[in-house]
Amino acid sequence: IAFVFGFFAFRSRIKGVYFSIITQAMTFAAMLLFFRNETGFGGNNGFTDFKRILDIPIATQNMRMTLFVMTGLTLLGFFLFAKWLIGSKFGRVLQAIRDAETRVMFSGYNPLPYKLTIWVISAIMCGVAGALYVPQVGIINPGEMSAANSIEIAIWAAVGGRATLIGPIIGAFIVNGAKSWLTVAYPEYWLYFLGALFIAVTLFLPDGIVGLVKKLWKRDKAATEGRLEAQRSLAASEGVEPSALAPLGAETGGARA
């Protein structure tokens, strides 16, 4: 399905907000279809009879722990694969397409196979994630294809940090942690919180948590290098070794420089 949809969408050069609208419309249409009882997918109830995997009861503690470990290892494997992929020539072309697709086309590259390949790879990852998720929760129904869930996943990336690999993982832990608490304590406010979080991150934290950490680290590094450079200059003017001087800023916040 991902290959067929992606082929025609990318071939028609649909991108940006229009691509997002089409994918959401397709998901909504599929949700309405699966809600119908005659389709054979359980209607509103969905699939609920998840009791055994390879004739082993899912409810046992060992099987639950096995699924949990498999989920963690799969996440780690996908992370390492994605890290390798973006460092390859294929990944560099993808980043160039993301930043300036027209220039990539002028350079002689056809964006279609690159975009289609990464689209199918992402669909495979989502399929594997779903296959690990459903046995652990014991139920899957068409409501999981709602627009709110799609937006929630986008918020993971926004909170953690877009254009990073570790950012969406961090965002997923934070958002789902908040969801686990809010849906129990204040279930009626969860969607309001989700919307407010997305607006706040977009306005005040556009690069996400990872971007904020990088910015603070660079600022601290620049300040440290500035203090060291000032200390070397002061040592040279006094004709002593830099190590013989007290660290700048230790007493007066750098005023001695």
With a cut of 80, say whether residue 40 has pLDDT above it: no
pTM of the predicted structure, to 2 decimals: 0.80
How do the domains of the chain map onto residue ranges?
A: 1-144
Q: List pLDDT tens digits, range 176-209.
A: 999 999 988 888 898 899 889 989 998 998 899 9
Residue 236 Cα distances to 75, 241, 242, 250, angstroms? 53, 8, 8, 20
With a cut of 90, say whether residue 252 has pLDDT above it: no
Q: List pLDDT tens digits, range 87-138.
A: 999 999 999 999 899 999 999 999 999 999 999 999 999 999 999 998 888 8
Band (pLDDT 50/70/90 cuts) for residue 240 is low
Take residue 226 and report the two structure tokens written for it: 């500035």
Question: What contacts 95, CB < 8 A, 6 or more positions away?
Answer: 86
Note the pLDDT of residue 80. 96
DSSP labels, 12-27: TT--THHHHHHHHHHH
Q: Let me know if 171 is exposed, middle or buried by CB neighbors in 10 A (0-12, 13-18, 19+).
A: buried
In the predicted model, what is the mean pLDDT of the chain?
Answer: 85
Percent over 70 (pLDDT), the chain: 90
